[in-house]
Amino acid sequence: MIDRSRTGGLTYVDSGLIRKLTVYAGAPGELRWQVDVGDEELGRPDSAACWTRYRIDDNLVGGSDGKHSRNWTNYPWPVSGGGLDPALIEDVRRFAPIMLWFLRDRHDLGLILLAGDEAPTSSLMVRDGVEATRWSGGAAGLVQAMILARSASDPQLEALAVAKLDRMREQEVHGFGGSFAEAVGHWAEREVAWSPVDISDLVALGRKKGRSRNR
């Protein structure tokens, strides 16, 4: 009897990052695998904060727009006494190392947290057929990048976060009911409980106009 709740994988810790390769049960009789990379100090298993996700460019594995793609097709569970599906082995061998070391260090993680606008997919970075994005939205990503910059004593990253905040401050955030700056304040208020550094300046942004920030 297969315990479908079980997972297996590898975890590497270096350059301030946690790099995780996980193989786990998908639909009945099928396996999936994925890579997640997050901050060693700030990443938490129960939160998407400071984590990034990865997928394979469909064009490299014979698919398009999610159809017949390695990203959307599970691998068959090995039969008793049999080996893993050759496609699973090949895909992990080919793509997992790129995914695991896509980010060199905490500064690189901060850059992807700051990339793009509010949509997580707008943070897309591509290298050697691997696509990387942050899990969080743009405003939450900026708060996380600021926490990361201050905890890592990275003034360059903090300056980039401040520049993005200044550039997008008055832009309306779709589905939020307020500006980007107010959305940053909203997320800072949610993240302040676990932040190891002072982000009271960001929290204050959510209180300036007194708009509803239900989300």
Given this model, what pLDDT does residue 60 score?
72
The C-alpha atoms of residue 134 and residue 138 are separated, in whole angstroms, by 9
- Token look-up 């699973």 returns 88
Q: In the prediction, which pLDDT does 187 show? A: 95
**Cα dihedral 141→130→174→200 (10° resolution):** 0
Quick: pLDDT tens for 97-146: 999 999 999 999 999 999 998 888 889 999 888 999 999 999 999 999 99
89-98 burial, b if ≥16 CB within 10 A, otherwise e? eebbebbbeb
Ranges of the chain whose pLDDT falls below 50: 1-4, 209-215
Round to whole Å and give the CA distance between 14 and 162: 27
Core vs surface per residue 36-72: b (16+ CB within 10 A) or e: bbbbeebbeeeebbbbbbbbbbbeebebeeeeebbbe
As a whole number of Å, the CA-based R_g of the chain is 19
Q: Which residue has the tokens 């550039």?
A: 167
Q: Are strands 75-76 and 51-56 parallel, antiparallel or unpaired?
A: unpaired
Residue extents of the structural domains in the chain = 7-207
Tokens at 205, concatenated: 């942004």
Instruction: Report DSSP letters for 33-45, one per residue.
Output: EEEEEEETTT--T
Q: What is the pLDDT of residue 59?
A: 72
Cβ partners under 8 Å of residue 181, min gap 6: 165, 168, 169, 170, 205, 208
| Alpha carbons 100 and 49: distance in angstroms, whole number | 18
Dihedral angle at the C-alpha atoms of 166, 170, 174, 177, nearest 10 degrees?
A: 120
